[in-house]
Amino acid sequence: MAKMFINGQWADALSGETYQVRNPANGQVVDTAPAAGQADVEAAVTAAQAAFKGWAETSPDDRAALIRKGLQLVEARSKEITALLTAEQGKPLFEAQGELHHFLHGMEFYAGLASKIRGDQVPLPPALGKHAYGLVLKRPVGISVGIVPWNFPLTLMGTKVGPALISGSPILIKPAKTTPLATLKIIGLLNEAGLPPGALQCLTGSGSVVGEALICHPAVRRVALTGSSETGRRVMQLAGPDFKRITLELGGSDPCIICPDADLKRAASGVVVGRYWNAGQQCLAIKRLYVFEEVCDQFVQALAEKVGNYRVGDGTTKPEKPFIRMGPLHTAYQREEIEGQLADAVSKGARVLVGGRRPDDPALAQGFYFEPAVVADVPEDSRLAAEEVFGPVLPVWKVKTLDEAIQEANNTAWGLGSSIWTQNMGWANRAIREIEAGVTWVNQIHYGYDELPFGGVKASGLGHEHGPEAVNYYLENKGAVFGGLDWE
């Protein structure tokens, strides 16, 4: 039975309540986890308050050394952690290994930044005294909460833990209810390296209970959410009245434009990874594809062939080459959503070019499997075009000009990622300048680099994670003014 990590110790919920974590590949119980409530939140926040001063005063080098020691412990247990991630989340083992690698790389990036946080010295008008100057001090924001979704439980936990810890702020992590296990394992190991009790804690349970209790606790000053736009709205409502610092990494409907001069072979490979990695359950997945008409038929045929190479199945096994493993969707709800969106488009005239159904194999009947699809002739008023498609289905449209492609790309409520495949520098620059999104990748797959700030516009959120920029959300700027320095 898994336990939470509170005040330096493994803990059950004070109520004793638990829930089951199930494997999306076969419905079997992987483990049980505590269902935290208000009393557990109170205990964890009290521990964070007790830890705050000491952690804020720990030297940056010592903070980095503790993080690095923890990362070594995590690396040494990587097999166990990735197996757990595959069992609770459904992604194939090689994707789980990729995710753990990304987590370790991101945490190392922040460990390296710990000693580089610095403020400013600012000359002030001589009216304040001849040598007057101001200082900008960087101070930790205080008790922080990180709320994480189920699609990338480890990397999206790291994008919160890394910047919080190096800023000197204690952080409480609330994983998605369905994916707490690998997270708990990692948080235990990071603590084992010697973090002070209360600096890094983890509470498990539902968003509406434990998530809301954390956000509303008066001692919590900072909330980082990665989740759906709907949850983002709720977090704003709860955190707004008390002026808490929030960042919201929300949903997306990323467009990808394929130009006639693109390297079509590479572009097809890029689109496959961009759309179908993690069974399409990525915020920054390509969710709408716009292909210039002169290369559209050729490109879409090559794409459909590649997508036909996926073999859905248990993530712990591999199909023979050239076939590629795709795991199940994460929940029954997730699969029903995708099926509903596709059925709606088909009822309005869309054509499914490949996939788009549950597999026939009776051995897979207990998992939430769905064969990845490419869909053409998708009406603009269909759910597939208008909603976030959080699964392995890609709608494709023909475009005639770059103007049309960019206009269509912007015709959405979201603005997370976007991409263009072209050799034309002018076109690439126009896409970068004119697409309303937090990122534009040029001739590259959609991926959140640790080094670059990542965040959306419009309904995709507020603020950034990744990069040195992310640390600013865990810091407060305090001004100080030194006047009268020329007094005798």
Catalytic residue numbers read 249, 283
- Closest approach, Cβ 205 to ligand NAD, in A, equals 8
Among 170, 198, 211, 372, binds ligand NAD (CB under 6 A): 211
Number of neighbours of residue 233 by Cβ within 10 angstroms:
13
- Which range in 165-173, 250-258, 307-315, 350-358 contacts ligand NAD by CB under 6 A? 250-258
226 binds ligand NAD (CB under 6 A): yes
Q: CB nearest ligand NAD: which residue?
A: 207
Which residues within the stretch 68-87 sit at the binding site for ligand NAD (CB under 6 A)?
none
φ and ψ at residue 481, rounded to 5 degrees: -120, 125
Asked whether the beta carbons of 79 and 97 are under 8 A apart, the reply is: no
- Which range in 53-61, 94-102, 147-155, 391-399 contacts ligand NAD by CB under 6 A? 147-155
Which long-range contacts link 403-408 to residues 24+ away (Cβ below 8 Å)?
405/255, 405/257, 405/290, 405/292, 406/257, 406/430, 406/431, 406/434, 406/435, 408/255, 408/288, 408/290
243: left (phi over 0), alpha (psi -120 to 50) or beta: left
What gap in Å lies between CA 404 and CA 419, rounded to an integer? 15
Taken in order 331, 228, 345, 394, the sign of the CA dihedral is negative
Residue 279 identity: A
What gap in Å lies between CA 274 and CA 286, rounded to an integer? 5
212 binds ligand NAD (CB under 6 A): yes
Query: How many residues line the site for ligand NAD (CB under 6 A)?
Result: 30
- How many helical (H) and strand (E) elements, i.e. helices and strands, does the chain have? 14, 24
- Closest approach, Cβ 167 to ligand NAD, in A, equals 20
Which long-range contacts link 240-248 to residues 24+ away (Cβ below 8 Å)?
242/218, 244/215, 244/220, 245/141, 245/221, 245/473, 246/222, 246/462, 246/463, 247/223, 247/455, 247/461, 247/462, 247/463, 247/464, 247/465, 247/473, 248/461, 248/462, 248/463
Which residues within the stretch 435-474 sit at the binding site for ligand NAD (CB under 6 A)?
456, 461
Structure tokens at 133: 């100057």
227 binds ligand NAD (CB under 6 A): yes
- Closest approach, Cβ 150 to ligand NAD, in A, equals 5
Among 7, 38, 78, 228, binds ligand NAD (CB under 6 A): 228
Residue (92 or 415) nearer to ligand NAD, CB: 415
Which residues within the stretch 356-415 sit at the binding site for ligand NAD (CB under 6 A)?
388, 390
What gap in Å lies between CA 58 and CA 115, rounded to an integer? 11
Residue (292 or 390) nearer to ligand NAD, CB: 390
- Closest approach, Cβ 309 to ligand NAD, in A, equals 26
Among 24, 163, 207, 467, binds ligand NAD (CB under 6 A): 207
- Closest approach, Cβ 296 to ligand NAD, in A, equals 27
251 binds ligand NAD (CB under 6 A): yes
Residue (153 or 197) nearer to ligand NAD, CB: 153
Q: What share of the chain is helix, strand, coil (3-state, %, to 5)?
A: 40, 20, 35
Among 416, 428, 437, 445, binds ligand NAD (CB under 6 A): 416
Among 161, 165, 176, 195, binds ligand NAD (CB under 6 A): 176
Structure tokens at 395: 């709608």
150 binds ligand NAD (CB under 6 A): yes
Residue (132 or 329) nearer to ligand NAD, CB: 329
- Closest approach, Cβ 461 to ligand NAD, in A, equals 6
**How far lies 462's CA from each of 99, 233, 246, 251, 397, in Å?**
24, 11, 8, 11, 29
208 binds ligand NAD (CB under 6 A): yes
Residue (58 or 247) nearer to ligand NAD, CB: 247
Structure tokens at 444: 């590259």
Q: Nearest-CA neighbor of 360 among 310, 320, 312? A: 312
What gap in Å lies between CA 22 and CA 170, rounded to an integer? 30
- Closest approach, Cβ 210 to ligand NAD, in A, equals 8
Residue (81 or 389) nearer to ligand NAD, CB: 389
Residue (274 or 461) nearer to ligand NAD, CB: 461
Among 87, 107, 117, 148, binds ligand NAD (CB under 6 A): 148
What gap in Å lies between CA 272 and CA 396, rounded to an integer? 13
- Which range in 39-47, 226-234, 356-364, 373-381 contacts ligand NAD by CB under 6 A? 226-234
What gap in Å lies between CA 428 and CA 425, rounded to an integer? 5
Q: Nearest-CA neighbor of 486 among 122, 124, 120? A: 124
Number of neighbours of residue 326 by Cβ within 10 angstroms:
29
- Which range in 102-110, 115-123, 171-179, 344-352 contacts ligand NAD by CB under 6 A? 171-179
**Contact set with ligand NAD (CB under 6 A):** 147-151, 156, 174, 176-177, 206-208, 211-212, 215, 226-228, 231, 234, 249-252, 283, 388, 390, 416, 456, 461
